[in-house]
Amino acid sequence: MLLDILAYTVSFANFLQFIHFNMSSLEEPLGLDKLPSMNTIDRIQRFSSGACRPREDNFGMGICFIEGRSCSTSNSCDEDNEEYTAETYPWKRHTRDIAQCRTFSQKTTTKGRNSMKFGMIDDSLSDFHSSPRGNSKDIPHSTHKFLGSIPSYVKIVEVGPRDGLQNEKNTVPTAVKIELIHRLASCGLSVIEATSFVSPKWVPQLADAKDVMQGVHGLEGIRLPVLTPNLRGFDAAIAAGAREVAVFASASESFSKSNINCNIEESLVRYRAVTRAAKELSIPVRGYVSCVIGCPVEGPIPPSKVAYVAKELYDMGCFEISLGDTIGVGTPGTVVPMLLAVMAVVPTEKLAVHFHDTYGQSLSNILVSLQMGISTVDSSIAGLGGCPYAKGASGNVATEDVVYMLNGLGVKTNTDLGKLMSVGDFISKQLGRPSGSKTAIALSQVTAEASRI
């Protein structure tokens, strides 16, 4: 009886608070002058603190919440070039069990939401970061369930200069490519795929690979992987000063044959030679798997094939495996089983996702991938790079759209959306067509309107 009264009183108090909260909003319509004016620095300092933010190493990588263990992500070369022995399975400990993963509780608060008056941040929020939100009572269960496993930091691998520009009809001048890479570097991106050392016979748009590498030679603190399909390309890349390379296998036999002129096994042989050579020189190698969901020739690709190729690449020494939905047909229904299969054989922190937006599915695919713990996403500025299999359709997902979503998710990317948009604007102007990024188009329209007011 007493408990009932207590419960009633508490709920009545909540009800009163709710009413007061709403009444005030109706009596005092929100005006711009009521909003506290905090500059960006203040906001950053106010709402984040060491207690809540993950520990950061030199590369700005966050802790990935794998069973509470901190692990470095793919930027650590030393760990990745260790000999992988079949007897020990160090990665098995890292395999994510989603049901048990820690909740991403530090940054979320419903207390903040309920106590926020319109547009005004309640001062009680200032103490939320001193007492980390381990109190799960305050957070509705659904928050834990669907967003709790999203990493706190996601590395964006920018593939515009290579994957984007290689599909352009007109060859982009070397100076423009170099300028693009320099501008991308100033946005905070830490990995930018610079070019590809393939035969100019196959990809004439990237024939100036050596000159591009020379032009970006001075960039410090940015990783600039280059594609190397074989040893000859690898040698040329090293001679041109590359410090990171990438290889690309396919999960589909037919696609492999039509794209790189050999079947999967043969391509793996080639890449073992490349990775062996790279290991000798302590050059990290990134592995790509294409057609992870479907192939334009074969149709659906079984997840086991993707797992096989991913494991082969991982075993041969690739520090990161990027899973590419080359024709963009994936949906969360097909992405999840594919990721489950691959995550069973390759540690999650070594995986990246590379979705195409050909069917508009990339952001939802990226969201479920993040929910499964993936913390590296490939994207292309302004959505550069169409789909070669559906002419006129879009291809790579736009970096601006991805960063917009990640910002909204509260995920750190260390990139500046404003600067990204100006780079996207630059390259779109150079190519003489509108951006492939919806965020960029919308924000540029809005700023144009705002500037007219």
Q: Quickly count: other Cβ atoms within 10 Å of residue 145's Cβ.
A: 13
How many angstroms separate the Cα of 97 from the Cα of each of 9, 52, 100, 250, 294? Answer: 41, 23, 6, 27, 26
Q: Which residue has the tokens 């990237």?
A: 206
**Binding to another protein by residue 7, rule CB under 8 A?**
no
Q: By C-beta, is 204 or 434 nearer to another protein?
A: 434
How many angstroms separate the Cα of 193 from the Cα of each of 20, 84, 215, 253? Answer: 54, 26, 14, 25
Tokens for 409, please give them: 């998710």
Stretch that binds another protein, among 84-92, 130-138, 207-215, 365-373 (CB under 8 A): 365-373
Q: Which residue has the tokens 């003489």?
A: 432
**Binding to another protein by residue 390, rule CB under 8 A?**
yes
Out of 113, 217, 429, 433, the only residue in the binding site for another protein (CB under 8 A) is 113
Is 253 within 8 Å of 222 (Cβ atoms)?
no
Q: By C-beta, is 171 or 445 nearer to another protein?
A: 445
**Binding to another protein by residue 360, rule CB under 8 A?**
yes
Dihedral sign for Cα 73, 54, 348, 372, please: negative
Residue 405, SS3 per DSSP: helix
Is 176 within 8 Å of 426 (Cβ atoms)?
no
Which x/- pattern over 280-299 shows residues binding another protein (rule: CB under 8 A)? Answer: xx-----------xx----x
- Residue 416 makes CB contacts below 8 A (sequence gap 6+) with 187, 188
Out of 6, 7, 38, 175, the only residue in the binding site for another protein (CB under 8 A) is 38
**Binding to another protein by residue 235, rule CB under 8 A?**
yes
Residue 387 is among the residues annotated as catalytic for this protein: yes
Q: Which of residues 314-333 bind another protein (CB under 8 A)?
A: 328-333
Q: Which of residues 60-89 bind another protein (CB under 8 A)?
A: none
**Binding to another protein by residue 114, rule CB under 8 A?**
yes
Tokens for 127, please give them: 């103490």
Strand bridging mode 226-227 / 245-250:
parallel
State the minimum distance, in angstroms, from the CB of residue 229 to another protein.
10
Residue 403, SS3 per DSSP: helix
**Binding to another protein by residue 359, rule CB under 8 A?**
yes
Out of 66, 185, 246, 367, the only residue in the binding site for another protein (CB under 8 A) is 367
Is 274 within 8 Å of 247 (Cβ atoms)?
yes
**Binding to another protein by residue 447, rule CB under 8 A?**
yes
Burial class (CB in 10 A: 0-12, 13-18, 19+), 233: buried
CA distance 171 to 195: 13
Out of 77, 219, 222, 273, the only residue in the binding site for another protein (CB under 8 A) is 273
CA distance 416 to 435: 18
Q: By C-beta, is 102 or 438 nearer to another protein?
A: 438
Q: By C-beta, is 176 or 272 nearer to another protein?
A: 272
**Binding to another protein by residue 212, rule CB under 8 A?**
no
**Binding to another protein by residue 211, rule CB under 8 A?**
no
Query: How many residues line the site for another protein (CB under 8 A)?
Result: 121
Q: By C-beta, is 149 or 172 nearer to another protein?
A: 149
Q: By C-beta, is 182 or 311 nearer to another protein?
A: 311
Q: Which residue has the tokens 């608070």?
A: 17
Is 177 within 8 Å of 161 (Cβ atoms)?
yes
Q: By C-beta, is 72 or 389 nearer to another protein?
A: 389
**Binding to another protein by residue 30, rule CB under 8 A?**
yes
**Binding to another protein by residue 222, rule CB under 8 A?**
no
Q: By C-beta, is 72 or 111 nearer to another protein?
A: 111
**Binding to another protein by residue 195, rule CB under 8 A?**
no
Stretch that binds another protein, among 84-92, 154-162, 205-213, 396-404 (CB under 8 A): 396-404
CA distance 79 to 27: 61
Angle at CA of residue 392, ends 387 and 397, nearest 5°:
45
Which x/- pattern over 402-431 shows residues binding another protein (rule: CB under 8 A)? Answer: --xx-xxxx-----xxx-------------
Instruction: Indicate which residues carry an active-site annotation.
Output: 387
